[in-house]
């Protein structure tokens, strides 16, 4: 992220070669704002813990201990972070093209349903064939659902924020129907609304042997997530398509003048975003549950917005932000059981992180206006 940031956020004015000090400063400025916002959020959270008559230090040490205290906890933190990486990418790739994808949640669910359907339908196939099929179904499901949004925006100019929110609801209800008394409902789920289990060949294997970390659930989905992060970086910064997408994001009219068709790229980028989220859904089904549970994901798609913002839409930034939020999820439970502090504190800290980031953007926008002069816009090469 850092070198990349330094290269892309460098002054666009035609200045002579920047000094080493300048470059170092820019390098440090990349992660400085996100790190600072997390620190401020943690401090604000601490104030509220103290106000409620509890011990903030005990709370945070339990949070850290819960997230990283034992090898098992570290693997669980990773398990929690995996879907957030994928949905984070789904939000970020759209951001980079100037679209606000609130629909990662819905895209993840469609991917999960498609993967769960294929995994159960072709359960008897050998893993070497079934696994790629299930991965493709997951990606295709999410891509289809995201593509709808891009299509409506391109053809009718419908605001993507509205359509993604509406489609999030749509899939929740379709899921109720499919899993409670519909075509995908398991016959023997004993009242738990769920789909028929997927075949053994569709299960992502646990990659940490029991001898190393007892009962670890860390599955091969982490490899898929890593591949997705590299793909995200490669696509945006190493392909002509990525260049065009970022150009559309920085200025659709300028991009159109330069011969880039924004409409086509809107459909494409939303399908790519949906593909990332859909892969996230597939990973949860294949790696964690082995079937689709009704309403299994409550917030991956929404936390993803915070992950993308905190990660500044950069590949490494998203990985770190997802790890942080994964640690919050897993450590929060331990904080509740051992320090007696509601794991809702974690949600409060996450909200503060967003506030601080939003405030930073606001302050920058205000100061820019006050100065009267526009700062040079990001260069895109």
Partner 1 sequence: MKRLLAFSVIAATIVAACTSTTTTSTPSGSAATGQHPKIGLVTDVGGLNDKSFNSLADQGRQQAQSQLDVTTSVTESKQQADYVPNLTKYAQDKYDLVIGVGFLMQNAVWKVAKQFPSVKFAIIDGAPNDDAGAVQNLPNVANLFFKEQEAGYVVGVIAAFMAKNKVGAATHNTVCSMGGIPIPPVDRYIAGYQDAVKTISPTTKIINGYSNDFVDQQKGLEVGKSHIAQGCDILFQVAGGSGLGYIQAAKAAGVYAIGVDADQASVAPGTVITSALKKVDQAVFQTVRAVRLGTFKAGDNFFNAANGGVGFGAVDKIVPADAKAAATTALADIASGKITPKDTVQVKP
Q: Provide the binding-site residues for partner 1, judged by CB under 8 A.
A: 48-49, 51-54, 66, 70, 72, 76, 79-80, 176, 180-181, 186-192, 194, 197, 215, 217, 284, 288-291, 293, 295-299, 329-330, 332-334, 336-338, 340-345, 348
Residue linked to tokens 């993604």: 164
CA–CA separation, 83 vs 280, rounded Å?
A: 5
In the complex, minimum distance from the CB of residue 191 to partner 1, in angstroms, rounded to a whole number: 4
CB nearer to partner 1: give 276 or 296.
296
Three-state DSSP state, 374: coil
In the complex, minimum distance from the CB of residue 192 to partner 1, in angstroms, rounded to a whole number: 6
CB nearer to partner 1: give 191 or 209.
191
Task: Name which of 245, 264, 268, 297 is nearest 111 in CA terms.
Answer: 297
Contact 363, 77 (CB under 8 A): no
Residue linked to tokens 């942080």: 324
Contact 23, 7 (CB under 8 A): no
CB nearer to partner 1: give 66 or 142.
66
Please tell me what DSSP assigns to residue 363: H
CA–CA separation, 321 vs 319, rounded Å?
A: 6
CA–CA separation, 171 vs 112, rounded Å?
A: 11
CB nearer to partner 1: give 159 or 180.
180
In Å, how far from its chain's centre is CA 297?
Answer: 13
CB nearer to partner 1: give 79 or 321.
79
In the complex, minimum distance from the CB of residue 170 to partner 1, in angstroms, rounded to a whole number: 14
Token digits of residue 48: 């509220």
CB nearer to partner 1: give 45 or 317.
45
CA–CA separation, 341 vs 332, rounded Å?
A: 9
In the complex, minimum distance from the CB of residue 207 to partner 1, in angstroms, rounded to a whole number: 17
Contact 102, 165 (CB under 8 A): yes
CB nearer to partner 1: give 100 or 177.
177
In the complex, minimum distance from the CB of residue 33 to partner 1, in angstroms, rounded to a whole number: 24
In the complex, minimum distance from the CB of residue 136 to partner 1, in angstroms, rounded to a whole number: 23
- Sequential DSSP letters for 77-123: HHHHHHHHHHHHHHHHHHHHTT----THHHHHHHHHHHHHHHHHHTT
Number of residues that this document lists for the chain: 381
In the complex, minimum distance from the CB of residue 232 to partner 1, in angstroms, rounded to a whole number: 23
């Amino acid at each position: 992220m850092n070198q990349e940031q330094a290269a892309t956020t460098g002054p666009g004015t035609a200045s002579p070669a920047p000094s080493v000090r300048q470059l170092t400063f820019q390098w440090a400025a990349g992660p400085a704002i996100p790190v600072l916002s997390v620190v401020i959020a943690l401090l604000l959270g601490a104030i509220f813990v103290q106000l409620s008559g509890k011990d903030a230090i005990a709370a945070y040490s339990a949070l850290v201990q819960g997230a990283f205290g034992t090898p098992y906890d570290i693997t669980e933190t990773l398990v929690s972070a995996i879907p957030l990486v994928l949905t984070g990418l789904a939000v970020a790739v759209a951001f980079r093209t100037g679209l606000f994808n609130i629909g990662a949640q819905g895209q993840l669910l469609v991917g999960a349903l498609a993967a769960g359907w294929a995994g159960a339908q072709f359960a008897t196939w050998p893993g070497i064939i079934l696994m790629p099929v299930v991965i493709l179904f997951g990606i295709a499901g999410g891509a289809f659902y995201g593509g709808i949004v891009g299509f409506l925006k391109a053809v009718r100019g419908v605001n993507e924020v509205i359509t993604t929110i509406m489609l999030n609801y749509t899939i929740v209800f379709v899921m109720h129907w499919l899993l409670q008394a519909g075509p995908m409902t398991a016959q023997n789920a004993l009242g738990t609304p769920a789909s028929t289990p997927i075949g053994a060949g569709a299960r992502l294997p646990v990659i940490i042997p029991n001898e190393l970390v007892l009962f670890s659930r860390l599955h091969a989905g982490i490899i898929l997530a890593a591949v997705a992060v590299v793909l995200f970086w490669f696509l945006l910064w190493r392909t002509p398509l990525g260049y065009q997408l970022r150009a559309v994001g920085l200025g659709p009219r300028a991009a159109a003048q330069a011969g880039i068709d924004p409409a086509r790229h809107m459909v494409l980028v939303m399908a790519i975003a949906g593909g990332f989220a859909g892969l996230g859904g597939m990973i949860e089904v294949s790696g964690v549950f082995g079937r689709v549970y009704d309403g299994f994901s409550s917030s991956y798609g929404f936390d993803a917005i915070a992950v993308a913002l905190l990660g500044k839409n950069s590949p490494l930034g998203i990985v770190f932000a997802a790890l942080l939020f994964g640690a919050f999820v897993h450590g929060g439970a331990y904080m509740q059981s051992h320090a007696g502090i509601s794991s809702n504190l974690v949600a409060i800290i996450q909200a503060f992180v967003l506030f601080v980031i939003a405030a930073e953007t606001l302050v920058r926008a205000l100061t820019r206006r006050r100065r009267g002069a526009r700062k040079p816009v990001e260069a895109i090469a």
